[in-house]
Amino acid sequence: TTRRYEPVPGYFTDEAPFGYYGSGLTGIDGMSMGGWMNLGRDNSTISTTQFHGDLVAQLNEYNQVKVGLEATYNDYNIKSFTESPSMDTWNRSQVFREFPYRIGAYLQDKLEFKGFIANLGLRLDYSSANSQWFQLAEYDILLRAGYGDLIETDAPLKETKANWYLSPRLGVAHPITENSKLYFNYGHFTQEAASAYRFQLQRESNGLVTSIGNPNLAYEKTVAYELGYEHSLFGQFLISASGYYKDITDQPGWITYTNLNGSVRYQRPANNNYEDIRGLELSLSRRAGTWFQGFVNYTYEVQTAGFFGLLEYYEDPNKQREYERLNPTLSRPHAQPYARANLSFYTPGAYGPAWFGQHLLENLRIDFLANWKAGAYTTYNPNSIPGVRDNVQW
């Protein structure tokens, strides 16, 4: 918006219609336009130091042992904000400096016998926020406008808690014939919450806190089961059929808190979400041979998701009752089958007539990628009728 360009001596103009104009404008029909785009700014610096080592030893003809150790140290120097020259309420900042780390170690034994192969494993994960965190009441005065900028100096601090988890894993394959096998997989898996859930502290320009993290979040945990069958046809094609189930717990999610007069309204995360995934997968693949290779896959999957407790808490009991009346804690499962295909067609070498010693039709290749998925469900309920949910499919 600065008139800094002089296309004609004595006449200055800005870069319009290019560039960024941060203030709002009123159109010829009276509609307000602009003013809210291109607000994000980021001067963050993130560095990660990692160590990883593995050791494999063949103890005898039946046992292959593998051990490993990994460590990750992060430096999050976050300086992220939005800046609006026209509206102060859109000016928000997120600034923090944290140094979390995590360590992982595993032990695996591969057992091989005639007609039986098994992988037995155990993994240890340890994670620390390596920090002290603010101890604030649900509707603390330091969360209000005019007070939020005092959190770093006035809020009491407490050492964060570390997380650790042991994850057993098992994989078994049993050949039935020389062309087919039955297999079973079972395992526990963990995932550390994203840094935005753990360390975020977002405030508006007046100090009002809009979200604050929770570095004491537990691991998100998944217990997975899979039972499958594979059969080789003619030495070229592989048919696979498997059923699977995943039980996911302690997923992080945001919870909104609002005090009696609305002067406090912010989000804080908790391990309050869960999900169950079960499905059936069918595949046909060809990984070798002439003329074409690829795979076709069809998956029928059903997901059930929900949360414990509530996603919004109001200090006003009337608003709390109204919220609980209209918001169920469990989403109904809807199947969303999907299919994928990746096919490659090609001509072999030395194919077709030769022209000056060159086969013009050899090694030609064309690839096809295809994806399909049933539409998702959503809710159309303009009259806020209780119990109406997921009544429209895309």
DSSP codes of every residue in 64-127: EEEEEEEEEEEEEEEEEEE--SS-GGG-EEEEEEE--EEEEEEEEEEEEETTEEEEEEEEEEEE
Query: What's this model's pTM, rounded to 2 decimal places?
Result: 0.81
The whole-angstrom separation of Cα 211 and Cα 76 is 18
More confident residue, 14 or 157: 157
The whole-angstrom separation of Cα 150 and Cα 154 is 6
pLDDT tens per residue, range 69-128: 999 999 999 999 887 776 776 788 999 999 999 999 999 999 998 888 999 999 999 999
The whole-angstrom separation of Cα 129 and Cα 213 is 12
More confident residue, 69 or 390: 69
**Closest C-alpha to 226, from 281, 184, 187:** 184
The whole-angstrom separation of Cα 128 and Cα 315 is 33
Pairing mode, if any, of strands 237-258 and 312-314? parallel
3-state secondary structure of 149: helix
The whole-angstrom separation of Cα 215 and Cα 76 is 13
- Check pLDDT > 70 for residue 300: yes
The whole-number pLDDT of residue 331 equals 64
Structure token digits, residue 224:
């997975």
The whole-number pLDDT of residue 37 equals 62
Which pLDDT band holds residue 385 (cuts at 50, 70, 90)? confident
**Closest C-alpha to 149, from 83, 190, 72, 91:** 91
Residue type, 254: W
- Phi then psi for 35, rounded to 5 degrees? 90, -15
The whole-angstrom separation of Cα 80 and Cα 41 is 6
3-state DSSP helix/strand/coil % of the chain, to nearest 5:
5, 60, 35
The whole-angstrom separation of Cα 26 and Cα 224 is 56
- Check pLDDT > 90 for residue 388: no
3-state secondary structure of 192: coil
What topology is assigned to 46-327 in CATH?
Maltoporin; Chain A (2.40.170)
With beta carbons less than 8 A apart as the criterion, state whether 349 and 362 touch: yes
The whole-angstrom separation of Cα 366 and Cα 383 is 52
**Closest C-alpha to 246, from 286, 274, 282, 285:** 274
The whole-number pLDDT of residue 18 equals 67
The H or E element spanning position 195 is helix 195-199
3-state secondary structure of 196: helix
pLDDT > 90 fraction of the chain, expressed in percent and rounded: 67
Average pLDDT on 354-383 reads 89
The whole-angstrom separation of Cα 70 and Cα 106 is 9
Structure token digits, residue 190:
């963990």
For the range 243-247, what are the long-range contacts, defined as Cβ-Cβ under 8 Å and sequence gap of 24 or more?
A: 243/278, 243/279, 243/280, 243/281, 244/277, 244/278, 244/279, 244/281, 245/276, 245/277, 245/278, 246/222, 246/275, 246/276, 246/277, 246/278, 247/222, 247/223, 247/276
Residues of the chain with CATH 2.40.170.20: 46-327
- Arithmetic mean of pLDDT over the chain: 90
More confident residue, 329 or 130: 130
